[in-house]
Amino acid sequence: MSLSNPSQILLRNSELLIAKAPLFINLPEDGFIEAYTEIHKPETINCFNTNFIDYQAITKKHCSSTNTKNVKTTFASTYQTKINHDLVIIAFPKSKAELNFTLAMIAHCINDETKIILVGEKKCGIQSAAKLTQNIFSCCQKVDAARHCLLFVGLFQPERLSDVFNLQDWFKKYQITVEGIQLTIASLPGVFSQQKLDVGTALLLSNLPSKMAGKVLDFGCGAGVISCFIGKKFGETNLSLLDVSALAITSAQESLALNGLSGNVFPSNSLSDVNEHYQHVVSNPPFHQGVKTHYQASEDFLAGINKKLNKQGNITIVANSFLRYQPIMETHIGNTGVITKDKGFTIYRAQLS
């Protein structure tokens, strides 16, 4: 795999990366870890990822390799350790609130000499790094610009290192009412539709099957809005929720609990970890990955979901009307109807024949 642009800018500043116990946050598996290990030979490398695909790729490559057996991987919404890291490299997130969340989360495992390196593509908004960190870092200096990327180095303000991180403080909670059903939704930074009910999901909730019972899969669950509504409206359902994001999974678990519901919430790369069969599948499938438009995960999901449906099982999705999901559903699932179109969104339903 070829090195991404952010990884290339990191390696060309290799002298900044010397460390005994570095922490890499949300870096992809693109060859950087291997290159870094060859140059610096650290005692250990800890890789923390909130994206399940990246976590799986790093774990598969490095945790079974004799060359990089000192690599430890973590998939979670928060990072917990007793290690004191002397270097932290953070892939700049698309959500600015997520950056503050990430920095608050690592205060317990660094000191005022720990170099914090922020790296990312300009179109991700990394230009604002110094402004965003002004109340956290004692300094934040731009040290390189290349390949449409920027690299910043910062040090924590000593007084911020004693701040206690409490996950509950980071949930945004809001109330929605749909068809007379009131829900409380909890969402961590970086999770889709963090502040309010989005237009597509609202349309989907108003156009679900008239009766639902049995096992329901919520694909790309985000903060769990769809499942919470189904759980409240259809008491005979058994909820399963999946997402690629650890932040979404933790948010969905919190939303279920706030609404007195239970469900099986788990990570999956599209359908990689789906092992059951369902009567109903419901989704507002994601098609944005980072700042790039990305359809492949949703198309793979639609092409493979027929193998996870019960006989006579059905799937209902909402999608931007310009997305050509109907032919994929027709080919792989069966007769696919358009339930409604509104505000640039379309609701499709297919039943396994």
The DSSP output letter for 62 is H
Residue 311 CB neighbours (<10 A)? 8
Query: pLDDT class for 286, splitting at 50, 70, 90?
Result: confident
The Cα–Cα gap between 48 and 77 comes to: 9
Q: Which residues pair with 186 in a beta bridge?
A: 173
* Residue 91, pLDDT score: 98
Distance of CA 15 to the CA centre of its chain: 31
pLDDT at 290 over 60: no
Express each pLDDT in 214-240 by its tens digit. Answer: 999 999 999 999 999 999 999 999 999
Three state DSSP letters for 101-117: HHHHHHHHHCCCCCEEE
For residue 289, name the pLDDT band (cuts at 50, 70, 90): very low
Give the Cα separation of 313 and 315 in Å (integer).
7
What proportion of the chain, given as a percentage, has pLDDT over 90?
A: 88
Residue 297 tokens, joined: 């995960």
When the pLDDT of each residue in the chain is averaged and rounded to a whole number, the result is 94
pLDDT at 299: 87
Residue 257 has what pLDDT? 98
Query: Does pLDDT of 292 surpass 50?
Result: no
What are the residues whose beta carbons fall under 8 Å from the beta carbon of 220, sequence distance 6 or more?
Answer: 242, 243, 244, 283, 284, 285, 286, 298, 301
Q: What is the mean pLDDT of residues 97-106?
A: 97
- Enter the tokens of residue 260: 């007195």
Q: CA-to-CA distance for 189 and 100, rounded, in angstroms?
A: 9
pLDDT reported for residue 298: 85
Q: Report how far residue 250's alpha carbon sits from residue 123's, in angstroms, rounded to the nearest whole number.
A: 28
d(CA 302, CA 293): 17
Residue 279 contacts residue 214 (beta carbons within 8 Å): yes
pLDDT confidence of residue 291: 40
Mean pLDDT of 71-100: 96
Q: What is the pLDDT of residues 333-345, one digit of tens each?
A: 999 999 999 999 9
What is the predicted pLDDT for the residue at 230? Answer: 98
With a pLDDT cut of 70, the percent of the chain lying above it is 95
What value does the mean pLDDT take over residues 45-57? 97
Q: What is the pLDDT of residue 120?
A: 97
pLDDT in tens, 52-65: 999 999 999 987 66
d(CA 195, CA 175): 10
Stretch 120-124: mean pLDDT, rounded?
A: 94
Instruction: With CA atoms as reference, report the closest residue to 91 among 149, 136, 38, 141.
Output: 149
| Rg, Å, the chain Cα set | 22
Residue 248, H or E segment: helix 246-258
Residue 164 has pLDDT above 80, yes or no: yes
Please report which helix (H) or strand (E) contains residue 250, including its range: helix 246-258
Tell me: the pLDDT tens digits for 66-75?
Answer: 565 789 999 9
